[in-house]
Amino acid sequence: MNAASNDIAPAAIKSRRIFYLIFATATLLVLGLIYAWSIFASPIGKTYPHYGPLLPQVFQVSMFAFCVSALFGAQIIKRASARLAIIIAAALLGIGFVLTAFASGLGAWALFLFYGVFAASGCGIAYNAIISLVNPWFPDKIGFCSGVQMMGFGVSSLVFGSIANAMFGVMDWSLVFVIIAVVGVAVMVLLAFVVQPAPANLAATLGLKGAVSAAKLSPTKAQGILSTRVFWVYSLWATAVIACGLTVIGTAKQGAEAMGLDPGLGALLVGLISTMNGLSRIINGVIFDRFGLAPVMTLSAVLAIVTMVGLAFSFISATAAFVYIAAAILVAMPYGSVPVMASAYARQRYNAADFAKNLGIANCNIATAAIVNIVIVSLFGSPVGENAPVVYGILAALSVVSLAATFVFRKIYAADLAQIAEEVGS
């Protein structure tokens, strides 16, 4: 894809980047359907009752594939273009949803392969490509830009998930999956040909402070992400917080029904979690722009502890359905902080030229969190069963570890940013 002209007037740049942000957010709104698995799982489970015990694990596999595929997407972006990456992602998404619709009767493996790998990989590649394409248009509002786009990704379960849930009542779920495939492919391909890369001199054109010095070579900023101590401390925090969120998001509807709530209320709960997930991404992005990364991480760790303790209590007390609802909604606040902070952290700490790769690596914490969840469930049982208090108790302990990690992170990160500032002379 050819770079956008370096001679665009500032006024035109401002209007163009707003249009791109809206378009990208709308596209991610469609892609966020990958989070609606607990809604999708209900009609699939009714069609194939013997798949029941495996359905929650399909979501965990999809999150793992989402992360790993983003790394492959980063290589496509680097070697070819974001446009090609988005087109490939569209093909994977379309194939994944269509084959899930028509091949699920062959066995549960089809759900893991076509939804858990193909569709999720399409979402992962597109997610990385879209964020990498649009974020450079907002060098002055990294957190806000990331938050708005990821809001679309987060509220998808409420918007399109609710629509899909209503459609399941009037048509077969397989037909709904085909419709999702058609809409998703069309929107992604259109975006691939409309959105252009940001001009190389955008920051200078907008008259942003530090635009010249930011272009200077910084040995610290050029460090490989995997070779830095701060990344591994960040990953410990992110993995624990995501593990808490994934557990709830993947079983919210089933958990509500285990609390004795009406299935319709369970679907509404999924939507409310999605809403908080989306809003939290803007809120956390704004907090980052104003106060920095460490305060967001600390707040998220504290909320993760509180919500996990609340969820454990809700399964101990038979009359605590309201606690389950409140904690399930609130956990989306810390969960929603992680993707926004991954984007902000990757751009703030490391070279912009490596952003797509570094974002993919940072988002791999979703995969490690999915593995953590699979292990916990395998050893201790379902998060909506009789051992649910144990599962959430373990996640609460992990959240305490994540809180401790934020204090270590704060010290190392501050030193890194000070070193970068000295090297670029800003």
Residue 207 within a domain: yes
CATH of the domain at 124: 1.20.1250.20
Query: What gap in Å lies between CA 285 and CA 279, rounded to an integer?
Result: 10
Q: Which of 173, 114, 104, 130 is nearest to 29 (CA)?
A: 130
Three-state SS annotation for the chain: CCCCCCCCCHHHHHHHHHHHHHHHHHHHHHHHHHHHHHHHHHHHHHHCHHHHHHHHHHHHHHHHHHHHHHHHHHHHHHHCCHHHHHHHHHHHHHHHHHHHHHHHHHCHHHHHHHHHHHHHHHHHHHHHHHHHHHHHHCCCCHHHHHHHHHHHHHCHHHHHHHHHHHHHCCCCHHHHHHHHHHHHHHHHHHHHHHCCCCCCCHHHHCCCCCCCHHHCCCCCCCCCHHHCHHHHHHHHHHHHHHHHHHHHHCCHHHHHHHCCCCHHHHHHHHHHHHHHHHHHHHHHHHHHHHHCHHHHHHHHHHHHHHHHHHHHHHHHCCCCHHHHHHHHHHCHHHHHHHHHHHHHHHHHHCCHHHHHHHHHHHCCHHHHHHHHHHHHHHHHCCCCCCCHHHHHHHHHHHHHHHHHHHHHHHHHHHHHHHHHHHHHCC
Instruction: Tell me how far CA of residue 93 lies from CA of 180, 199, 280, 336, in angstroms.
Output: 9, 30, 26, 23
Residue 204 within a domain: yes
Residue 297 within a domain: yes
Tokens 């259109």 sit on residue: 190
Residue 50 within a domain: yes
Contact 185, 94 (CB under 8 A): yes
Residue 235 within a domain: yes
Residue 1 within a domain: no
Residue 43 within a domain: yes
Q: Which of 249, 247, 14, 31 is nearest to 128 (CA)?
A: 31
Number of structural domains (the chain) is: 1
Contact 424, 216 (CB under 8 A): yes
Per-residue pLDDT tens digits for 133-173: 888 888 777 778 877 887 877 677 677 777 887 888 899 99
pLDDT value for 151: 80
Query: What gap in Å lies between CA 63 and CA 416, rounded to an integer?
Result: 31
Q: Which of 53, 273, 280, 271 is nearest to 164 (CA)?
A: 271
pLDDT value for 1: 43
Contact 235, 401 (CB under 8 A): no
Residue 5 within a domain: no
Per-residue pLDDT tens digits for 281-314: 888 888 988 899 999 999 999 999 999 999 999 8
Tokens of 377: 């469930």
pLDDT value for 10: 67
Contact 123, 91 (CB under 8 A): no
Residues in the chain where the model's pLDDT stays below 70? 1-10, 154, 157, 207-216, 318-319, 426
Domain that holds residue 348: 10-424
User: Residue 91, class by beta-carbon neighbours within 10 Å (0-12 exposed, 13-18 middle, 19+ buried)?
Assistant: middle
Q: Which of 392, 365, 359, 344 is nearest to 240 (CA)?
A: 365
Contact 30, 333 (CB under 8 A): no
